[in-house]
Amino acid sequence: MIQLIGRDAKGIVALVAPHVDRPFRARQVARWILHRGAASFQEMTDLPLGLRQALGERFSLREPDLVEEQPSTDGSRKYLFALADGATVEAVAMPADDKVTMCLSTQTGCAVGCTFCVTGALGGGRDLKADEIVGQYRAMGRRLTSEAGRVNIVFMGMGEPLLNTSHLGRALDALFETVSPKRITVSTSGIIPGIRWLGTLARRPKLAVSLNAPEQELRARIMPITRRYPLDKLMAEVRRFPLERGRRITFEYVLIRDLNDDEEQADQLARLLRGLPCKVNLIPLNEDPLHLPGMERPSAEVVDRFAVRLRDSGRTVTVRWSKGGDVAAACGQLKGRHQLQPDL
C-alpha cells in the first residue's frame, strides 16, 4: 500500500488524483490528512462511501503504534512508539499555557556519541522515514487537541536530524502545511554539510546548534563529532547561514559540573559568538548515573553565575531547566527502549 502520511498537499494530490472521479476529491483527501488529522479514510465523511473504501484498499494512513504514555508531574508527557519493523522511538510533548512543544525524533538511536546524552551512550540506529517522523506529531496532537492552541516543534529527540536530511526534508514539507517554519527548530550537533543543506531550503526552520564547549579540545572530548567537523569550521559555516529578518541562531550549551561551567569558559563562549545574531540556551545537565556515570549537574549558583557572565558580555541567555526528568523525558535522556516491569 502507498503511504500518504509524511507527504505535503501536492504529493498527496498527485498520488490520489488518478483514483478519484473528480479533481477536487483529491484536494479533499489532502485536507482531511493534513488539516484534520484523519487516521482513516472512513473519517472522510464528505467522500462517497465507495470511494472511501477504494482508497483504503490502495493507500495507507498508518502511524507509529503508541506503546506507552508516561505523564510527568510537571505536565509533560513522554510517548514510546513502535514502528513497523519493531524498532521503537520516544517523543515528548510539553504543554505550557496555550501552546504545546513537541520534541520529535529522527533516528532510532544516535551514532554521534555525545558523552552527556543517554541516546548517544546507547549507540546508533536507523533513520526514520518521513511518515514515521510526521506520525509522531500526528499521534501526539490527537491526544493533546484540548491543550494545543499553538504548536511548536523541536527536532531535539533521538538521533541527529542532519544525518537524515532526505527524510527530514520531506517531513518538514508536510509539517509546513500546518505549522509555520518559525515554530519549528532543527537542532544539530554540528553536521556541517547538513547545516549547508538546511540553508538552501526555500522555507527554513530555525537552526539550533548544540555547542557545549567554547574551544576545540574540550568539545572534541565531550562531542566526538568535533574531530570530523572542527569547531572553527563549524562556526564559519554557522556565520554563513542565511537568516530571515528577525531570526537568530540558538546555541545550546549543556552545563556539566567542573567540566565546562566556569566563568572563564563563559568569557570564551562570549568571544566565540561575538557578532552573531544569536541566543544561548543553557541546559543544566540531566543526570543519568547508569548511562552517564561521573557526570553531574552544576549547582544552581554556578548556573546563575555562568548565565550572568554571558549576559554581561551582551549575549541573550536563557536557562532551560528541562521538563520530564521524573520519567526520563528531559533533554538527553530519551532511550527509545521499552523495558518490561518484572512481576512482583
CATH classification at residue 20: 1.10.150.530
Please indicate, yes or no, whether residues 293 and 158 belong to a single structural domain of this protein. yes
Q: Do the beta carbons of residue 78 and residue 329 sit within 8 Å?
A: yes
- CA–CA dist 27, 77 (Å, integer): 34
297 in the same domain as 269? yes
Count the neighbouring beta carbons within 10 Å of the beta carbon of residue 46. 9
Report if residue 143 sits inside a domain: yes
* Residues 231, 322 within the same domain: yes
Q: Which amino acid is at 13?
A: V
Residue 183 belongs to what domain range?
A: 65-327
Same domain, 127 and 28: no
Mark whether 72 and 119 lie in a shared domain: yes
Please state the separation of Cα 221 from the chain's center in Å. Answer: 24
Residue 201 and residue 299 in one domain:
yes
Active site residues: 90, 331
Q: How many CA atoms lie within 13 A of 175 on its CB side?
A: 34
- pTM above threshold 0.85: yes
Residues 240 and 103 in one domain: yes
Same domain, 144 and 230: yes
Match 561575538 to its residue by C-alpha cell: 274
Q: What is the pLDDT of residue 340?
A: 36
Cα dist. 291→114, 204, 296, 325 in Å?
12, 35, 12, 15
Domains: count for the chain = 2
Confidence (pLDDT) at 344: 33
The CA distance from 154 to 292, in Å, is 24
Query: How far, in Å, CA of 243 to CA of 254, rounded?
Result: 24
CATH number assigned to the domain comprising residue 270: 3.20.20.70
Q: Mean pLDDT of residues grouped by 10 in the chain (344 residues)? A: 97 97 95 96 96 97 95 91 95 89 95 90 90 97 72 95 98 97 97 98 97 98 97 98 95 97 97 97 90 92 97 94 64 59 36
Tell whether 138 and 159 lie within a shared domain.
yes
Residue 339: the pLDDT is 44
In this structure, the number of other CB atoms found within 10 A of the CB of residue 104 comes to 29
Where would I find the beta strands (DSSP E) of 83-176?
A: 88-96, 99-103, 150-155
On whether the CB atoms of residues 83 and 64 are closer than 8 A, the answer is yes
Give the chain's radius of gyration (CA, Å): 21
